[in-house]
Amino acid sequence: MHAIRGRLAALLLAVVAVVAGTMAPAEAGGRQDDRRGWTGTWATAPSEHYEVSGMSEVTVRMPVHTSVGGSSVRIRLTNAYATDPVTIGHATVGLRDGGSAVAGPHDLRFGGKREVTIPAGGQAVSDPVGLSVPALADLVISLHLPGQVTHITDHWWAQQTVYWTDYGAGDHAADTAGDAFTWTTSSWPFLSGVDVTAPKARSVVALGDSITDGSFSTADTNQRWPDLLSARLNACRPGAGVLNAGITSNRITAGTATNPSALDRLERDVLSQPGARTLILFEGINDLGGASAEQIIAGMTEIADRAHQRGMRVVGATITPYKDFTWGGWSEATEARRQQVNAFVRDSGGVFDEYADFDRAVRDPADPRRLDAAYDSGDHLHPNDAGMKAFADSIDLTALGLGRGCT
- Which tens digit of pLDDT belongs to each residue from 303-321? 999 999 999 999 999 999 9
- SS3 at position 186: coil
**Amino acid in position 268:** R
Quote the pLDDT of residue 10: 33
pLDDT, position 405: 67
**How high is the mean pLDDT of the chain?**
91
Give 29's pLDDT tier (boundaries 50, 70, 90): low
Alpha-carbon torsion (83, 89, 93, 96), positive or negative: negative
CB 59 within 8 A of CB 100: no
- Which of these, 246, 348, 252, 255, lies nearest to 303 by C-alpha position? 252
Instruction: Report the side by side order of strands in the sheet with 102-108.
Output: 102-108, 90-96, 138-145, 58-65, 162-165, 181-185
For residues 279 and 15, the model is more confident at 279
In this structure, the number of other CB atoms found within 10 A of the CB of residue 22 comes to 11
Q: What residues contact residue 175 under an 8 Å CB cut-off, 6+ apart?
A: 102, 105, 142
Can you tell me whether residue 239 is helix, strand or coil? coil
Return the CA Rg of the chain. Answer: 20
Instruction: Taking residues 386-390, report their average pLDDT.
Output: 98
Q: Mind listing the pLDDT tens digit for each residue in 112-136?
A: 999 999 999 999 999 999 999 999 9
Of 116, 77, 92, the C-alpha closest to 175 is 92
